Amino acid sequence: MVNTKVNLSGLTLDNPVIPASGTFGFGYEFADIYDINILGSISCKGTTKGPRFGNPTPRIAECTNGLINSVGLQNPGVEKVISEELPKLAKFYHKPVIANVSGFSIDEYAYTCSKIDANEQVGLIEVNISCPNVHNGGMSFGTNPNSAFEVTKAVKNVTTKPVYIKLSPNVTDITEIAKACEAAGADGISLINTLMGMRIDLKTKKPVIANKMGGFSGPAIFPVAVRMVYQVYEAVKIPIIGMGGVSTAQDVIEIMLAGATAVQVGAANLVDPYACKNIIEALPSVMEKYNINSLSEIIGGSH
């Protein structure tokens, strides 16, 4: 028997497969089609301090081997996530979840993380620092090492649970951002978030997405994700959750060899709602094919 278990900052996951935030709702929406308890964990829909309606429509543009989205963090706000969404999920999912948090200022990040940290269901907090920093000229926190350091430090000061910082790939040197987060006390790194992309409608000669540009995800970005996970693994000593175009059990093993301890599956869920289930069920046979007895033993195995 192969062993698919991994340890993520003290959390033992039955397998490393986690639906990525924004692609799986709050999780309970999928409970009607299969037993979601087979999942290693669930990274819940991105949560902000207050409710957000999101960006204008259209928000989605299809492209070769991927898609572009500009949903805009639509969510009911942290109070309702704690009082309504997480209790709904608890009826169906009986393992610790990952709370994904976004913000538009350091104070917002700290407030939302402190609130979510107190929830018993939450085993780990994933902080998305790819949002605009309204206090610094609209620049993303995640594109500047100093800003990344400050957000990480502020969140760590108000939380007790492991904090993973989700990084943007839209930077010159991903390792500098990762090292800044580690220096500020981050327990781990999540990467990569979406690349920036755009489509233009040939009939209207206008951008397909109302917001013009959006996050590009899907199988086309997988090699970028593998490269960045590999680089960050060599730059820091904290664990990594790898993501970006993962759609097969083979992809899971490849990105773990690059340095990921756990793996999130994003756009694949939007194409096939059974994507995570299929990957988990295929993992043992793929492990046997490549003579892998335990997934925890292959983390960073390509270095």
CA distances from 87 to 39, 93, 100, 121 (A): 18, 10, 16, 9
**Beta-carbon neighbour count of residue 188 at 10 Å?**
22
What dotted CATH number matches 6-55+68-198+214-297?
3.20.20.70
| Cα maximum dimension of the chain | 57
The two tokens of residue 60 are 């989605």
Helix or strand (DSSP H, E) at 70: none
| DSSP 3-state of 5 | coil
pLDDT (0 to 100) of residue 136: 73
Measured between alpha carbons, how far is 79 from 295 in angstroms, rounded to an integer?
A: 37
Q: Which residues are known to be catalytic? A: 131
pLDDT (0 to 100) of residue 214: 92
pLDDT (0 to 100) of residue 129: 95
Helix or strand (DSSP H, E) at 174: helix 174-183
Task: Please name the residues in contact with 83: beta carbons below 8 A apart, sequence gap of 6 or more.
Answer: none
pLDDT in tens, the chain (303 residues): 999 999 999 999 999 999 999 999 999 999 999 999 999 999 999 999 999 998 999 999 999 999 999 998 899 999 999 999 999 999 999 999 999 999 999 999 999 999 999 999 999 999 999 877 767 766 689 999 999 999 999 999 999 999 999 999 999 999 999 999 999 999 999 999 999 999 999 999 999 999 999 999 999 999 999 999 999 999 999 999 999 999 999 999 999 999 999 999 999 999 999 999 999 999 999 999 999 999 999 999 999
pLDDT (0 to 100) of residue 2: 97
Domain ranges of the chain: 6-55+68-198+214-297
Measured between alpha carbons, how far is 126 from 98 in angstroms, rounded to an integer?
A: 7
